Structure 1
């Protein structure tokens, strides 16, 4: 398969991007075969149980917002008491599709806005939708008021791998959104298709004027990077760098430092192979593509990404915490001064971990995957 030429704006942004010295040329570590740690430095307590939960996020007051894939949204106290949030729009609950991520506005204490993603049913399949609504509470009840669609995938897709992860930039001026390839891999290299992209939007859904292809028509104006497969983690590091992880095919889960205009190569290159066993060229064979900072073969099936800050685990400051579905646990990644990434720890919990978040008190919270899944609080032993 031949890679189409990148638009000139993408090439210019690639030249101007301030990547750390040597980040593109250094060979990434394969952490897939590294052994798990023999002991865990935390105690895990089950706080509540949910059915097919997908994402968690903390509000400024210490409560969580939690999504269930079937289309349910909850407020949850740290003691486990829950309040169902009414007014959630209809979702297309099939496979990996449904109600996905949720993120409070950076100014939530003032505007009470929740941003959320879902796959909405429609002709030709389901469409990934980014929306926001005001959270209103009264008389022990909670409701989404005046939901507003900010962006909608066009056309819809029948496949899974929707992405849908939200991250606000430091300072809250911009919103970043992952869009998976929806099991249509060739479209990840099509600059006019949303699939396989990371988008950068203003909080109202409009296109920022300094995007790599600002002023271009359609999805190009929103595109920040391309060539992604199945991105279920997106977060900013303390130094302001944006990191993303995505599931590879048969091997090759990736942790990528995202730069404006970057092309991460899917499906032209991968450190994994097709499920049939047919090989895919490796990143090293195509240096024009951005290679991952770290990858896993065998896979961990990463889901959820957060950078740690808090008093519970002082040695973890600035580390990335990643949930593992296949790995059934939690992975900690540390970063060198030159931007290189290295897996420092992998702890087996015996549970498929779908998302991870850090509470205001520094405790780490994770949710399990599937029916009867636990919401767990991890505190230092």
Structure 2
């Protein structure tokens, strides 16, 4: 973990530098290292002025300006165990006015931990959070320290979607009486939107938007307002899903993978009333961050999906109807890609857990 001390300001480890050129069907891509020396980075959020924030899973939130990082105080207490800790960060669309950001994290729950969402305001100098409020907490939590999700995305109408993993509790996922293996939708103040699909249904958590998910670690709203999610399967069966309200995505009843033991999962690959993935991988690539590109710097990629692979160390470009993986963007910088986002200027940023670094991609001159 990066320590909150004067050494951070003196080390200058975060100075930007060229990380080489990656080849792609759209031509050479210049890769610039924006910061390194990170300890298990999970997510990056780019601010309107070009500065950015990065989460580290052990609970550190960093503000990066001019190539130098410093810790941000006031972060909620996290349960840093297993796959849990401080996870996603998303910058509110109205940040220039409100200074608000959204954080997901594993929140301690006695002997367990559950996926939670907090909203907070970032100070003008970027060194602390104020007004921190936890506006959602998945119940029940889990004691195994795995499958938290967890991404937060802001819909075009201002509501928030949060992905929640199954915490390894497979039997609970097909029950809508809990939040495990769901996508939830809430208002920015934590209340439940009246048009959520299960509002008013007895015994159902009203925050649920869709269910039957295993461990969704990537999510993005496209230009048409549609929600896309990438999620981990077991041995094979990683998926990209186009989310519909009230839909059941099948876990653990249907899957294109098997358990790690080789044992069959559930009832096969399909069942009436359960959604088919828009795309799946077999073998698994361990997909994490997902982004739908605007086409700003690479017009030929407009509307394409980009997904990071933790297992094979590349960025998958997904396109077509039906969706297919049409390209792998790969090089030394793409070691275990955890997050991938588009900056306001159209550049593509990604996190490499393997390198402990954040990179920026632009067309090579």
Shorter-normalised TM range: 0.7 to 0.9
1:66 is aligned to 2:54: yes
Match of 2:362 in 1: 379
Correspondent of 1:345 among 323, 327, 333: 327
1:356 and 2:343 correspond: no
- Residue number in structure 2 paired with 1:279: 264
Deviations for 1:35-70, whole angstroms, at most 9, x for unmatched residues? x97997312222211111000122222222210001
* SS at structure 2 position matched to 1:262: coil
Per the normalisation by structure 2, the TM-score is: 0.88
Alpha-carbon distance in 1 for matches of 2:52, 2:327: 26
Task: Give runs of aligned pairs for residues 205-220 of structure 1, distance below 5 A.
Answer: 205-216=190-201, 220=205
1:112-132 per-position Cα deviation (integer Å, ceiling 9, x unaligned): 111101112231211221111
Secondary structure of the structure 1 residue equivalent to 2:172: helix
1:94 aligns with 81
Q: Given the alignment of the two structures, is residue 129 of structure 1 paired with residue 116 of structure 2, yes or no?
A: yes
CA change 1:255–1:367 in 2 (3 A) is: same
Deviation at 1:206, TM superposition (A): 0.7
CA offset digits 1:61-101 (Å, max 9, x no partner): 22222100011111223x52223211112111111100000
Which residue among 105, 108, 128 is the counterpart of 2:95?
108
Which residue of structure 2 aligns with residue 296 of structure 1? 281
1:240 and 1:335, CA in 2 relative to 1: closer, same or farther beyond 3 A? farther
Q: Among 227, 240, 254, which residue is 1:242 paired with?
A: 227
Give the counterpart of 1:153 among 120, 138, 144.
138
Deviates more, 1:320-329 or 1:209-218: 209-218
88-97 or 216-225, which deviates more: 216-225
Q: Which runs of 5+ in 1 are unaligned?
A: 1-35
User: Helix, strand or coil for the counterpart of 2:362?
Assistant: strand
Question: Aligned equivalents of 2:256 and 2:115: distance in 1?
Answer: 27
Distance 1:187 1:69 in 2: 26
Pick closer, same or farther for the CA change 1:203–1:219 going to 2, 3 Å: farther
- Alignment RMSD: 2.0
Query: What SS does the corresponding residue of 2:300 show, helix, strand or coil?
Result: helix
- In 2: Cα distance, 1:41 partner to 1:245 partner: 27
Q: Which moved more, 1:102-111 or 1:210-219?
A: 210-219
Tell me what 1:251 maps to. 236
Question: How far apart are the structure 2 equivalents of 1:41 and 1:88?
Answer: 39
Q: For residues 133 and 197 of structure 2, what CA distance do their matches in structure 1 show?
A: 26
How does the TM-score come out when normalised to structure 1?
0.84
On the 8 A contact 1:303/1:325 being kept in 2, the answer is: yes
For the Cα contact (< 8 Å) 2:210–2:247, is it kept in 1?
yes
Name the residue aligned to 2:155.
169
- Distance, in Å, in 1 between the alignment partners of 2:54 and 2:203 is 32
Structure 1 residues 358 and 267, CA gap change in structure 2 (3 angstroms): same
Structure 1 residues 96 and 218 mapped into 2: Cα distance closer, same or farther (>3 Å)?
Answer: farther
* More divergent stretch after superposition (39-48 vs 243-252): 39-48
Counterpart of 1:223 (choices 194, 199, 208) is 208
C-alpha separation in 2, matches of 1:309 and 1:119: 31
8 Å CA contact 1:124, 1:156 repeated in 2: no
Q: Which has the higher contact order (CA 8 A, sep 6+)?
A: 1
State the distance in 1 between where 2:345 and 2:351 align.
18
Matched, 1:81 2:68: yes
Q: Distance in 1 between matches of 2:153 and 2:312?
A: 24
Q: Given the superposition, is the C-alpha separation of residues 65 and 335 from structure 1 closer, same or farther in structure 2, using an over 3 Å criterion?
A: farther
Deviation at 1:283, TM superposition (A): 5.7
Question: Could you tell me how far apart the structure 2 residues matched to 1:282 and 1:156 are?
Answer: 27
